Structures are given as C-alpha cells and as structure tokens.
Structure 1
Amino acid sequence: MKKLLFSLFFCFSCLKFYAQQSNNWTRSELGISLGTMYYIGDLNQFRPFYETNLAGGLMYRFNYHSRLTLRFNYSYGSLDADDKDSKITINKNRDLNFHTDIHELVGGIEFHYLPFQLGHKRYPGTAYILAQFGAFYMNPKTNYNGQEIALQPMGTEGQIGAQRYNKVQLCIPIGLGAKFSLGKSAAFSFDVAIRKTFTDYIDDVGATYYPNTNLIPSLNGTLAGSISNQSIDGTRYGIRGNSRTSDWYVYAGAMLTFRLGKENVCWDWKK
C-alpha cells in the first residue's frame, strides 16, 4: 500500500514538473473526478449497478493532438457484494459476502470522435473512446458473525504460502465518454469504463478447485474452514465460483480539469 501511494505521488510530481518545464505545458490539464464504482463477478453475475459505491480520484491529461489525449488517473473506491441479495438459489445457499477498497493507477489515451481543443470556440466538445492500462490494489474482507476478517491470509480455497493471490493486480479500463470546454481554461467530462482484470479473487471466490472444504482447517486453521464454507445447509463442496471468468469492475464518473498554463490559441497540432 505504501509503495502504491509513493508511486502515485512520484508519477504526479513528474507530470507536473514536465508540464511546467516543457514547451508543451499549456496542453496539460490537472483535475479531480467523482463517481461510482461497482463489481461484476461470482457474487454479482447479472446485475448492472448493483451495490454502487462512491468513488473519486485525481486526473492528468496531455492534449497531444486534436483527436488524441494522453490520460493518467488515480482512483479510489470500494466494491462489495452479498449472496443474500442473489435471486439464484445455489448462490443464496453459498451465503458468502465480501468488500474491498480499491486503489487504482492507470494510464492511456482518449481518442476523440470530433476535434477538440480546450477553450477553443470551434472545437468546444466531443465524445471519446477511453483505453488504458494499469494496476490496482485490493484487500477483500468478509463480515463473519459481525467480525471483519481479511480473506487473503485465510487461504479459503486451500491456498498455502506462495499460492495465495497477490493483492496488486493488473487491469485494462475500456470505456466511452464526452467532454466540453468550460471557458478558456477548464473542461468538464464524464465517462463509464469497465475494468478487465486478470484475477478471479477480488471477491476471494476464484478458480481454485478444492474438493472438500472440511480439509481446509488442517491447512489454514478452523476459522479459514468456517469462512470457506458458509453455506446455509452446510453441504456445499467443490468449486465455489466460475473458473472460466475473471472478475470485473466499473467506474462511472464526472471530471473537472484545469489547464496548468496560459491559453495558447494557436496550438501546433502534430499530424
């Protein structure tokens, strides 16, 4: 966690220094975002915008071209789900729940549908496609008998030692949005982007096949065994989730950014 925060501070410090020192500083924007975040996975397979949680972050843009902007984001939010809310009988019987904070650092591009230039009357707004790549930190926990318990150390699917999943994972945000100039030095934008991840353990329910959860206490303790099998009838064994798909999450938000330098109405766009 400390390494992630240090990397975030270092990246934004470098971006600000670059914007101030280069001849292109007037193309740089810095701002904030506010929105919602929700999860798609083994505990929420079919319900869009289920358990949406408040999210926000920081954002840097470099307007490389009238059709192309480089963009970097730090976002913070949380994800959660509970089998008690499911309409699927087998999931209700599974009776699992989780929640996790998400710290995300990503970078990529906005490709504009129309030419856009901040503060220019001729190019006041555009829709765009967002494509990014980065990493996020997660730490799934569960509420078990009124007690909050971190799940990764438990090895709830029989993982031991190095077999336990990493709390830092990669993601690929893909989305659609729109942005508009607010005067000569500010812009308002909003987008919705789904995150493709490469882990099935945001919810601690993954692809590991463990034939009998009664054996888990001998590996990771009695509490791990109890948390692993919380089924209402006490007879659920085998794979707890879908081994063929990874978990996803979505961030939908609005952003307000400000130009870091003075207006330059004659940007020399690269062709």
Structure 2
Amino acid sequence: MLLFYRICCIVLMVALFLHPSGSLGQDRIEGGFFLGASYYYGDLNPGQLFYRAQPSLGGVIRVVANSRIAFKGGLTVINLKGNYPDQNVRYPLQDGYTSSQYRFKRSMADFAAQIEINFFQYDHPFRSEETRFSPYISTGMASTLYRRYNSGDEDNSEKPHFILSLPIGIGIKWKLSDWVHVGVEWNFRKTFADDLDLMGHGAIDPSDPYGFNQSSFMHNNDWYSFAGLLVTFDLYHRRVTCNAGY
C-alpha cells in the first residue's frame, strides 16, 4: 500500500508540473464508450495474457484540463472466466473430491476515477493539427462490485460486495475529427480480494489453494485486466482567447 501511495504522489507531482499556471478550469468535456475484452490473473492463471478473454463494455466521461492532463471517470462491465486444471498449475484436492475439475465465470462492475497524463500535447486549442495524437498513462482509485460467495451462510449465498482496486492504464489516442476521439486502452486492476475465482465449494479452493489460511498483499490477491477500443465525443468546449498563439 505504501508503494502505491508513493507512486500516486509522484504522478500527481508530475501532473502539477505539466499543468500550466493559471489554467485550472476544464478545457472541454468528453463522453463516450469502451468496447473490448477482459481477463483474469490469479491462482488459476498465474500470468497468461488474455486468458479465456470475455467481452467487456462501459461508459466514460473525460474532463480535459489542458493538452497534457485529463480526469476520467468510468463504469465498465467486466466478465471473467477460468478453468482448472489449466496453465500447468496443480493444487491439492479438497476433502471428498476425486475429480480435479473446477471452473468459474463471473460478471462484475468496475468504477474508476483516474488522472490521465499525455506524453505529448494533445488537441491543443491553437495547434490542433500538430497535436492530434498522443500515448498516455493513467492511475487513480477504483472499486469493484461483485457477488461474493459466503460459505458462512446456511445457504452458502452470494451477496453484492464492493472492494477497493488500484487502477493502472496505458493507451494511445487520436483526434479523428473536430469532435471525435478514438483510442486503444489497456487497463490493469490490483484488487484487495482473493476470491474473484471462488464460486462455491469445488475440487479446489482458489481463494486458499494450499490451505495455508494466510494472505499476501502482492501475491495472493486477484488481478483483472481489460483492453479495447475507446471512443469519445466532445460534449462541451470552453472558449479560449489567443495569447500570442499559445
């Protein structure tokens, strides 16, 4: 957690350094949609990219502060899937099971508020033709809503549950026309839960596959990722006055 806060502080300091003095209001507001694929990292998939990828879609609002900095809010529907045995991982079977087959499939909602930092100036109001493209990175805070399996209930029910997740994203964007922006984005979420792949009793317990009853911040909590196409449309433009062209 301390490392994450340090990273966020560095990102914010860079953002303040890049933000021109005197331009604290938004330059424009964009709204649009995301369409792509999502996949899971965890005990059933230690590292394969786009493992059993499932469709994902969402909406986004972007408040552009200037040609370097934007603030983005998003809601994305995430679908995850996994099977065991797979990915050359093997775990001890739960008591009473002779078959090692286990699978899960889950839908979740991802809520995120992030700062987006462009590597190049993007869509500068007085240099529009020269600033139509830029790679960018993003980070901030996020939360994940999913139905958590509760083995303590008499009926072993699943109840809606929010967890904190830490977002990191990279992407590229291009100004397609005066009011349309398209991009490709790849997002990662580090969650503070180890049961995204737990869907009830089965041959293994992916939330604690070795039965250690211990957790680790870096290694035992599940991750998920989603990547795809992002399209936004200008909803509002602030009028700007030319000062020597910049």
1:103 correspondence with 2:76: no
Contact 1:33 1:256 in 2 (8 A): yes
Q: CA deviation at 1:132?
A: 2.6
Structure with the higher helix share, 1 or 2: 1
Number of equivalenced pairs: 204
Taking a change above 3 Å as real, the CA distance of residues 133 and 38 of structure 1, as seen in their structure-2 partners, is: same
Q: Is the 8 A contact 1:39 1:248 kept in 2?
A: yes
Partner of 1:222: none
Q: 1:42 touches 1:242 (CA, 8 Å); kept in 2?
A: no
1:253 equivalent in structure 2: 228
More strand by share: 2
- In structure 1, the gaps of 5 or more residues are 1-23, 141-151, 206-226, 232-236
Shift in alpha-carbon separation, 1:89–1:247, aligned structure 2, 3 A: closer
The aligned amino acid for 1:59 is: V
> What residue in structure 1 maps to residue 36 of structure 2?
35
Q: Distance in 1 between matches of 2:51 and 2:92?
A: 16
- The corresponding residue for 1:195 is 189
**Whole-angstrom distance in 1 between the partners of 2:211 and 2:183:** 42
What is the SS of the residue equivalent to 1:261?
Answer: strand
Normalised by the size of structure 1, how large is the TM-score? 0.66
Quick one: structure 1 residues 175 and 262, their matched pair in 2 at CA, closer, same or farther if it must change by over 3 Å? closer
Contact kept in structure 2, 1:199 and 1:246, CA below 8 Å? yes
Distance 1:260 1:267 in 2: 22
Secondary structure at the aligned position of 1:121 is classed as helix
Q: Which amino acid aligns with 1:230?
A: A
Q: Which runs of 5+ in 2 are unaligned?
A: 1-24, 94-98
> What percent of counterpart residues are identical?
23
Report the AA paired with residue 110 of structure 1.
Answer: E
Q: CA offset at residue 50 of structure 1?
A: 0.7
For 1:122 and 1:241, how far apart are their aligned partners in 2?
56
Separation in structure 2 between the aligned mates of residue 185 and residue 79 of structure 1, nearest angstrom: 34
Moved over 4 A (4+): 91-94, 262-268
Partners of 1:25 and 1:260 within 8 A in 2? no
Residue 201 of structure 2 aligns with which residue?
228
1:243 aligns with 2:215: yes
The root-mean-square deviation of aligned C-alpha atoms, in Å, is: 3.2
Q: How much has 1:41 moved relative to structure 2?
A: 0.5
CA distance in 2: counterparts of 1:91 and 1:198, whole angstroms: 24
